[in-house]
Amino acid sequence: MDKVKVGIIGLGRLGRRYAENLQFKVQHAELVAACSLNSDELDYAKNVLQVPHVYASHEDMLSRTDLDAVYIISSTDKHAEHFIAALDAGVHVFCEKPLALNVEACERVEAHSMQRPDQFAVVGFVRRFDPSYAHAKKKVDEGAIGTPFFVKSQTVDMDEQAPFQLDFVKSSGGMFHDFNVHDIDLVRWFTGSNIETVYSIGGAYRHKAFAELNDADNVLTTCALENGGMASIHASRTAFHGHDTFTEVVGTEGSLRIGRPAALNRVEISDQYGVRQECVRTFYERFEEGFLLQTQDFVDCIVEGRKPELTLRDATEATRTATAMTRSFREKNTVMCR
Amino acid sequence: MDKVKVGIIGLGRLGRRYAENLQFKVQHAELVAACSLNSDELDYAKNVLQVPHVYASHEDMLSRTDLDAVYIISSTDKHAEHFIAALDAGVHVFCEKPLALNVEACERVEAHSMQRPDQFAVVGFVRRFDPSYAHAKKKVDEGAIGTPFFVKSQTVDMDEQAPFQLDFVKSSGGMFHDFNVHDIDLVRWFTGSNIETVYSIGGAYRHKAFAELNDADNVLTTCALENGGMASIHASRTAFHGHDTFTEVVGTEGSLRIGRPAALNRVEISDQYGVRQECVRTFYERFEEGFLLQTQDFVDCIVEGRKPELTLRDATEATRTATAMTRSFREKNTVMCR
Amino acid sequence: MDKVKVGIIGLGRLGRRYAENLQFKVQHAELVAACSLNSDELDYAKNVLQVPHVYASHEDMLSRTDLDAVYIISSTDKHAEHFIAALDAGVHVFCEKPLALNVEACERVEAHSMQRPDQFAVVGFVRRFDPSYAHAKKKVDEGAIGTPFFVKSQTVDMDEQAPFQLDFVKSSGGMFHDFNVHDIDLVRWFTGSNIETVYSIGGAYRHKAFAELNDADNVLTTCALENGGMASIHASRTAFHGHDTFTEVVGTEGSLRIGRPAALNRVEISDQYGVRQECVRTFYERFEEGFLLQTQDFVDCIVEGRKPELTLRDATEATRTATAMTRSFREKNTVMCR
Amino acid sequence: MDKVKVGIIGLGRLGRRYAENLQFKVQHAELVAACSLNSDELDYAKNVLQVPHVYASHEDMLSRTDLDAVYIISSTDKHAEHFIAALDAGVHVFCEKPLALNVEACERVEAHSMQRPDQFAVVGFVRRFDPSYAHAKKKVDEGAIGTPFFVKSQTVDMDEQAPFQLDFVKSSGGMFHDFNVHDIDLVRWFTGSNIETVYSIGGAYRHKAFAELNDADNVLTTCALENGGMASIHASRTAFHGHDTFTEVVGTEGSLRIGRPAALNRVEISDQYGVRQECVRTFYERFEEGFLLQTQDFVDCIVEGRKPELTLRDATEATRTATAMTRSFREKNTVMCR
């Protein structure tokens, strides 16, 4: 195989980043087609990204016969539909997280994918490809901290993002689906266990408007794992220092922390404010390298015929837990995940 | 008043530290009497600490008429009894935490104390006197992080202490009463709110013997606060790097962390293990300065006629929450604290 | 211009990295020719890097008429000769540092280059392209630390590299030319001043063999700058924790530090060795991103017709100072740089 | 011996701290006499410190026959005179650093002291008693970093202190004698070697007034040690983040750093300025514990008949090197220390 021919559905804020990576930075890939409902985005794809073929409808794009793979970076409520259509088009499929906001839709895609075992089908949990998270996983697998039994993980976003997020709550499914789905995946990845029971609380401590949408600006969950382990998961929309994704993995012989502080780089300043580090301001700034490595890995899997580590089951389980957390938050009691 | 004349009940591991502070390091205090059931401890008090009067029974010691204050550092199950006896003897009373393992006993002492409003009566939550925690509280009170609404706090002890702790579980009341009672107090101190509901989980991940005693070696609690805030509390008996007490306070305009890393001092080593700091190994090593400042403060309150900030109500609330956490852990469901 | 056509001279350890970047990661560039004296390296270029034309002699490669630019990553003692030949071939030239081990050779290349003002000619000081160093420079230029007057900089390599370095001393010119040339450039970059006087000392504290070569395994220099400022420069071949490049810039209103600790990534481990971070092990691991950005920048300069910031004068000045430091070290006294 | 009876000469800013420690915090000591030329200071000693006997002249105080030890915290230019007078009075003598601003005066005191071998005579290098420095020394002595061959050390004071320091330059002897004398002692302590040659530079980068006094606000020295090792010593009067005493010890198998960052305590703040730690603001705040431990140690030496580790020779060597550094700075060339 010479180069993997890729089409992309969705060229929004994040879609554009995927497209740039595919076209310019990922080896053995070329972005041959892109579709979007927004004509400015298509112009951008054509003129800046030099994508030869652009489409206003995903059906049209999927009718091409030269595609090897499709990237779905559309809005969350369209993921399942686009995923199934892409599978039907006979291509490998990568979909941005979360796969869907309810377990049924996830399972529908899973079932569809099982009938096409030769097409890779994964949902992106980018943190697994971040060099720091990947290094931590390697250390854990090597036994550096004994048996991991407790994971603390948080997704903390900057307060300046909150107004934008407000518009986004309905389609994103709220904090548990949008933010914590990553933390849930990390808990499963590091412990090898699903989550059994959750108890979620939270509030709109700074931005009351989230409460009116049945959402919050800060949430906290305690998770009892199926294997007897435990997890504490936090999300926030109200940080002032930076985008602060942080995870701690505690094992029987040591512990690991990933991401503290959320430093922008290796520079430290000493001035009237003390000794300090500036922080990354967005999840993309934090995980830029992970996004590239994730995309390279999927392309490499196709080139090498190697099965991706992530499966649709990972996506279903993340949605299952996020759904239980959302219910627990609203019902103010513990909820069993299955 | 020249010097505050103090008697102490209990000269065990921690009692001895209090006695040394009172006799040698606290200004305006002198330790004139000590009682213990252990004759070696009395010898130590007489010969090393130069305490003039030692007793095998606390009743005998409390019958002295020259005492201004009594320190109760006996085993937890005797605290309430000793506290009431000391109040009846007409002295100011300081008692090591926790006041008791059940709310009723705490309230009995509270009621007794309210009838003697001129005698100070407090339980020691030493972290409030640690310079770092005190500085953090001052910053929070000055508004440095806006309104605090979320506290994460942990008491993490070294694995090498676990065998000793095993013998201690019955009288200490288990991890929630023995370890987390401090974290509960910090949550109340930083947020100004009591805890409404708790959900506690945990396990004996490394030392199965704790499970046989209905206890654990690691526990995790999510707390919903009465004022709508939230807290996550962790305790562990299985750390290898050090005694790692850590607290984070998140507010609407910033956050504070106290105690990370649990560094022994200001030395950093670079060698084949990377760049690293050694850590404190015991709670006493971590809070040595706090213990001294706490004792000095109580003596100063007596000298100056200034009411201590800590009250018996703080002790009752801590026990109330720890009791609810213990029940939640055993019943595997949320528990309302009152 | 469609793509910048590049030829490379030298495919050793570092040359190979440059070649990979040019062929696979740098936008708007293609590696069309490579030369090496080593046939294995040429096979690698042909088969793995898919370089269409490979040569055993640089003269043959430079006789191609389609080249836009040439990268010189040959051994230091050949740099000047290759540089002049490439200029004569009419192409833009990038040369790995140091340009030469003596000022005369540097000035000869400079003079030659001045006669070809339309061909870009630069020497690579990769740290200027490292995101942390670049961010620090931006902060300094914005006035974040007032006027910078003191730079401390070190290049500290791992002990495990020392045996390899031993073979390399003769052609590399020793620690001042090979290691500190970077630190010298940083001093000039951050302060805007040349170095006036140096006093260098050092020793073969761990590897006596360096002393026999008139070199050292650790050296230290105090620099008086022409503008009255000062610098302290250290180099080491004997670290056990990692490759530890570190620079501090002190200004009249604050200071900045770049690179402490030399952390491998964002992972922190807590175990029996304390709380620790693993470190990068080689200069390439530390500056991998800088090497890519540096190469991209040179290609972008060619595409955009934008003059590179680095000049041959920077290279000459670095060699001038490194030469003075070497003399000072040997003569055991201060040396004026000009 | 019951309690060591101490007299103190000098009750200025630092003398008062010594007096408080001796009277209230050091075990086995009592401050029975104090002398000062300032009657307010004597009132303070009498009324607040409850020193029973106060004097306007040191001769009068030294004529008391009950003194066991005398502390000399007078101005530097009086140290030698007071030291000799105290030795003649037959007591143990502790003197604040530096002993004198010239080697001759130091040697005169040394010679006088050698005739009174039963009287302890030391100069205070407080950093040796700081728990972090003491721990680092213990690690070095245990071989944790192999053989130490390179020390970097700095004394960096806050800019807000500079105006006060300006008045103080004449009696203090300038930055090398006043600030770096500590760093010199650390170099000797960690390496076991005297300093052979120094090259010092510097400038009045922010406060021109220091230049008019032949002093500077920032200085830098490279030291060649007699044993072949090396040291880099920096001092500054212009920091904005805090009092930043920092030392690095590099050995053949690892390295240690003491004091980075100069954190006030264990609190870290995350807010619009990033992730940051506030710093200590004065040398006393940084070394408060060291001052207490140093005083306790001298008293313990007297009680136990144990010879202090510090000797007058340490003081002489520090002054010898500081004198050479001052000369090098003024003559702009290397200077041999002896």
* Whether residue A1 has pLDDT greater than 70: no
Cα(D240)–Cα(D217) distance, integer angstroms:
13
Q: pTM to 2 decimals?
A: 0.97
pLDDT in tens, chain C (338 residues): 589 999 999 999 999 999 999 999 999 999 999 999 999 999 999 999 999 999 999 999 999 999 999 999 999 999 999 999 999 999 999 999 999 999 999 999 999 999 999 999 999 999 999 999 999 999 999 999 999 999 999 999 999 999 988 988 988 899 999 999 999 999 999 999 999 999 999 999 999 999 999 999 999 999 999 999 999 999 999 999 999 999 999 999 999 999 999 999 999 999 999 999 999 999 999 999 999 999 999 999 999 999 999 999 999 999 999 999 999 999 999 999 99
CB-nearest to D265 from B132, B253, B265 is B132
Question: C333 with D334: CB under 8 angstroms?
Answer: yes
Taking CA atoms, what residue in B is nearest to C268? B276
Cα(A226)–Cα(A181) distance, integer angstroms:
18
Contacts of B270 in chain D (CB under 8 A): 254-257
Q: Tokens for D183?
A: 């760093």
**Is the ipTM beyond the 0.85 threshold?**
yes
What is the percent of chain A with per-residue pLDDT over 90, rounded to a whole number? 97
Q: What is the pLDDT of residue C170?
A: 85
**Which residues on chain D place their C-beta less than 8 Å from a C-beta of chain B?**
24-25, 27, 131-132, 135-136, 139, 144-145, 253-260, 263-272
Contact assignment for C150 to D218 by CB distance below 8 Å: yes
**Which residues on chain B place their C-beta less than 8 Å from a C-beta of chain A?**
146-147, 149-150, 152, 197, 199, 201-203, 205-206, 218, 220-222, 224, 228-230, 232, 234, 236, 238-241, 250, 252-255, 260, 332-334
- Beta-sheet strand order (sheet of D92-96): D53-55, D29-35, D4-9, D69-72, D92-96, D121-124
Shared domain check, D255 and D192? yes
Taking CA atoms, what residue in C is nearest to B268? C276
Cα(C257)–Cα(D50) distance, integer angstroms:
48
Q: What's the DSSP call for residue D85?
A: H
Contacts of B158 in chain C (CB under 8 A): none
Contact assignment for C266 to A254 by CB distance below 8 Å: no
Peptide bond into C117 cis (omega under 30): no
Mean pLDDT of chain B: 97
Peptide bond into A52 cis (omega under 30): no
Angstrom distances, CA of residue A187 to CA of A48, A317, B202: 39, 11, 16
Touching B: which chains, 3+ CB pairs < 8 A? A, C, D
Domain count, chain C: 2
Shared domain check, D144 and D279? yes
Q: Which helix (H) or strand (E) holds C95?
A: strand C92-96
Touching D: which chains, 3+ CB pairs < 8 A? A, B, C
Shared domain check, B121 and B150? no
CB-nearest to C277 from B241, B274, B279 is B274
One-letter identity of residue A192? G
CB-nearest to A150 from B218, B222, B260 is B218
Cα(B110)–Cα(B320) distance, integer angstroms:
13
Cα(B122)–Cα(B92) distance, integer angstroms:
9
One-letter identity of residue B249? V
Angstrom distances, CA of residue A98 to CA of A6, A61, A175, A180: 21, 23, 12, 10
Shared domain check, B105 and B119? yes
Size of interface C-D (CB pairs under 8 A): 89
Contact assignment for A199 to B205 by CB distance below 8 Å: no
Shared domain check, A258 and A120? no
Q: Tokens for C97?
A: 């540092």
Size of interface B-D (CB pairs under 8 A): 76
Cα(A325)–Cα(D335) distance, integer angstroms:
72
Report phi then psi at B268, rounded to 5. Answer: -125, 135
Shared domain check, D134 and D209? yes
**Mean pLDDT calculated for residue range B225-244:** 98
The β-bridge partners of C236 are C156, C218
* Whether residue D1 has pLDDT greater than 80: no
Q: What is the pLDDT of residue C1?
A: 52
**Which residues on chain D place their C-beta less than 8 Å from a C-beta of chain A?**
239-242, 244, 261-263, 269-279
Contacts of C224 in chain D (CB under 8 A): 201, 332
Q: What is the pLDDT of residues A211-224, one digit of tens each?
A: 999 999 999 999 99
Contacts of C271 in chain B (CB under 8 A): 240-241
* Whether residue A58 has pLDDT greater than 60: yes
Cα(C257)–Cα(A266) distance, integer angstroms:
8
Q: What is the CATH number of the domain that holds A162?
A: 3.30.360.10
Shared domain check, C210 and C331? yes
CB-nearest to B267 from D27, D136, D254 is D136
- Residue-range definition of the domain harbouring residue D197: 128-283+318-336
Q: What is the pLDDT of residues A150-208, one digit of tens each?
A: 999 999 999 999 998 898 898 889 999 999 999 999 999 999 999 999 999 999 999 99
Report phi then psi at C60, rounded to 5. Answer: -60, -45
CB-nearest to D132 from B254, B266, B270 is B266
Q: Strands, DSSP E only, in A165-312?
A: 195-203, 218-225, 230-239, 246-251, 254-258, 267-271, 274-277
* Whether residue B249 has pLDDT greater than 70: yes
* Whether residue B168 has pLDDT greater than 90: no
Centroid of chain to Cα B302: 21
Q: What is the CATH number of the domain that holds A17?
A: 3.40.50.720
Shared domain check, B293 and B178? no
* Whether residue B143 has pLDDT greater than 80: yes
Shared domain check, A191 and A265? yes
Taking CA atoms, what residue in A is nearest to D268? A276
Contact assignment for B199 to A334 by CB distance below 8 Å: yes
Taking CA atoms, what residue in C is nearest to B280? C274
Cα(D192)–Cα(D181) distance, integer angstroms:
16
**Which residues on chain B place their C-beta less than 8 Å from a C-beta of chain C?**
239-242, 244, 261-263, 269-279
Size of interface A-B (CB pairs under 8 A): 89
**Mean pLDDT calculated for residue range D266-292:** 98
Q: Which helix (H) or strand (E) holds C114?
A: helix C103-114
Question: B237 with B210: CB under 8 angstroms?
Answer: yes
Q: What is the pLDDT of residue B2?
A: 81
Contacts of C274 in chain B (CB under 8 A): 241-242, 269, 273, 276-279
Contacts of C144 in chain A (CB under 8 A): 269, 271
* 3 state SS of A257: strand
Shared domain check, C323 and C305? no
Shared domain check, B153 and B245? yes
Residue B1 pLDDT level (bands cut at 50, 70, 90): low
Question: A129 with A243: CB under 8 angstroms?
Answer: no
Question: A93 with A87: CB under 8 angstroms?
Answer: yes
Contacts of A218 in chain B (CB under 8 A): 149-150, 230, 250
Shared domain check, A244 and A160? yes
